[in-house]
Every structure is written in structure tokens, then in C-alpha cells.
Amino acid sequence: MDHTRSAFWDDLAENLNDPEFLRAYIVESMQIQTVDRLVNELDAARAAAGMTKADVARAILANDAAIRRLFTQAGGNHTVGTMSAVAAVFGLRLTFEPLPEAERAHITEPLLTGIADDPHALAEHLAEMRQSGRKVPASV
């Protein structure tokens, strides 16, 4: 992805020079990517198990609508508790994993220092990371 040529990406890179904006943008990007990844993996496990969303809701004694929202609402504010319960239905648990060393330079260091060595590269990395977690939700 080459985002460095448009006014939007130039403006974003400029905004990333503000430590408060930089930290908020990184945190939001990480939240989006993480939630999307978790929901996608849970939905894949649900499909592999041949279960409907209603089946999952019944298994964890949850409201059908809440489970439908979990699997269909892009960018929803899903709780770790709900995702943990759904994961348990499929014999899974949520875990932490270290960021790859290269990604730490884009994520951890700017969060700690409030400074991005290359704001254009950071903007591009975060855009790619956010898009990598996106997928069209299953309809079942």
C-alpha cells in the first residue's frame, strides 16, 4: 500500500507529530486490529464447528442478539469476557503474544516516547495492520 502520495496521508503523517494524537491513533489502530482478529478467529471456529450464532448464545447462556452483534458489528465494543466465553465453546482461550520486533519499533516505541521517527511509515504500517484484520462477516 502506498499512502504517502495523497493529501490525506500527508495530513495524517503531520498529525502523528503530535504526541497525544500519535498515541491515540496507535491505541485505536491496535484495538481495531486486535478485536477484528479475535472476532474473525472466533467466527472461523464457529463455522468449523458447524454452529449457528444461536447455538453459541445458548451454550454460554447469552442473548442471541448479543452474539449476532459480536459476529456482525464491525468495530463493536466487545468485552473480553464475552469473547472468552465464546472461545471456550470451541475449546479455545484468549492469550497474549509478543509483537514481532519490527512491529515494536512502529508500535511500542512511539507509545512510550510519543515520537515517530518516520510518521509516513507509521501511518502506512498502521493502515496495513488495520486492514489485515478486516473480513466480511459470515452470514450463518
> Looking at residue 140, what is its pLDDT?
40
Distance, in Å, from the CA atom of 73 to the CA atom of 70, rounded to the nearest integer, reads: 6
pLDDT band at residue 96 using 50, 70 and 90 as cut-offs: very high
User: 70-94, pLDDT tens digit by residue?
Assistant: 998 765 678 899 999 999 999 999 9
* Domain locations along the chain: 7-132
User: 123-135, pLDDT tens digit by residue?
Assistant: 888 888 877 655 5
Distance, in Å, from the CA atom of 53 to the CA atom of 57, rounded to the nearest integer, reads: 6
> Looking at residue 102, what is its pLDDT?
82
% of the chain at pLDDT higher than 90: 56
Distance, in Å, from the CA atom of 39 to the CA atom of 36, rounded to the nearest integer, reads: 5
Mean pLDDT of 92-98: 94
Mean pLDDT of 4-21: 88
Distance, in Å, from the CA atom of 87 to the CA atom of 131, rounded to the nearest integer, reads: 23
Q: What is the mean pLDDT of the chain?
A: 87
% of the chain at pLDDT higher than 70: 88
